[in-house]
Structure 1
Amino acid sequence: MAITHTYTLTLADQDKATLRTAAYGAVSLMAAAGTAGSPHRIATRGSIALTSATGQVGYVLAEKSKIEGLNGRSVAELADQVLPALTATMRLLGRQDPAEADNFRTTVTLAVEESVRAVKGEPGPVMTEMIRKITGALDAA
């Protein structure tokens, strides 16, 4: 028996770009905050978690396109792009398909958690604060 799912999302190219910036940007913020681990390893683990996403969110994250807004010269510039993108994506998905909003939140949260696993021991205060900011942006919608 074939299982099909009808997606209810209608995302413009800009909406998809914002979603990708939000998700991959959260991983980039974690890499920048990972003072006790390898930024490369942190980013790799988080990105692998994002590529494992399912549903419409998974399809958007799997699209091969340039991700805008992740070339800030400082963590502050990066956060100025990523944190509002997280909130905007949650609002957009929440209006169109609450299940996909939950899927996006879970996907980003898992990527953040996977990023932390690249660090030996517990995450330090810098990473912990970045997790708080990312979670706050997801919940602000």
Structure 2
Amino acid sequence: MSITLTDQDKLTLQTAAWGAVSLMSAAGAAGSAHKVATEGSIALTSATGLVGHVLAKAPKGVKWGKTVADLADQVLPALTVAMSLLKQQAPAEADNFRNTIIVALDAAARTHLGEPSPTLADMARKITEAVDAA
């Protein structure tokens, strides 16, 4: 069975995933934001299946906002919508998307020695809750 996503569906998935990495980067400690973004991006571009094809590139033309709150207002709902969309159209890909997001969060958090900072851990929690809200 072949799954066809509309351009808007693909943009929603890209916005959700790449936005999650951006949120983690914004929550990273000073000097580590680049490492967080790099590790999270590698996780997204390493995805396989339909999700891997969609997330191979960051979304173009998305206005991310000027603050972390603006970014969260856009990305957290997009994560929930993306999961709902995939659960309806391709349940196996919903699991793939969720796992890809969790791997990206784990990869981003590993850039710190020891445990992630409280800010980074809290952002990962918010992202995971948005993914699981669907």
Q: Give the TM bin, normalised by the shorter chain.
A: over 0.9
Tell whether 2:76 aligns with 1:86. Answer: no
- Aligned twin of 1:3: none
Percent identical pairs in the alignment equals 62
- Aligned twin of 1:13: 7
Q: Structure 2 vs 1, CA of residues 51 and 66 (structure 1 numbering), >3 Å: closer, same or farther?
A: same
Counterpart among 49, 52, 57 of residue 46 in structure 2: 52
- Cα separation, 1, equivalents of 2:132 and 2:57: 25
Q: Structure 2 vs 1, CA of residues 50 and 44 (structure 1 numbering), >3 Å: closer, same or farther?
A: same
Deviation at 1:121, TM superposition (A): 1.7
Following superposition, which runs of at least 4 residues in structure 1 exceed 3 angstroms of deviation?
Answer: none
CA distances 1:47-77 after superposition (whole Å, capped 9, x unpaired):
00100000000001114751624x2211000
- Cα separation, 1, equivalents of 2:70 and 2:25: 14
Q: Structure 2 vs 1, CA of residues 25 and 64 (structure 1 numbering), >3 Å: closer, same or farther?
A: closer
Tell whether 2:120 aligns with 1:127. Answer: yes
Counterpart contact for 1:37–1:120, Cα < 8 Å: no
- Aligned twin of 2:19: 25
Tell whether 2:96 aligns with 1:112. Answer: no
- Structure 2 unaligned spans of 5+: none
Counterpart contact for 1:17–1:67, Cα < 8 Å: no
Q: Structure 2 vs 1, CA of residues 107 and 100 (structure 1 numbering), >3 Å: closer, same or farther?
A: same
Instruction: Provide the TM-score with structure 1 as the length reference.
Output: 0.89
Residue 117 of structure 1 aligns with an amino acid whose one-letter code is R
- Structure 1 unaligned spans of 5+: 1-5
Q: What is the CA RMSD across the aligned residues, in angstroms?
A: 1.5
Residue 82 of structure 2 aligns with an amino acid whose one-letter code is T
Counterpart among 83, 97, 101 of residue 94 in structure 2: 101
Highest Rg: 1 or 2?
1
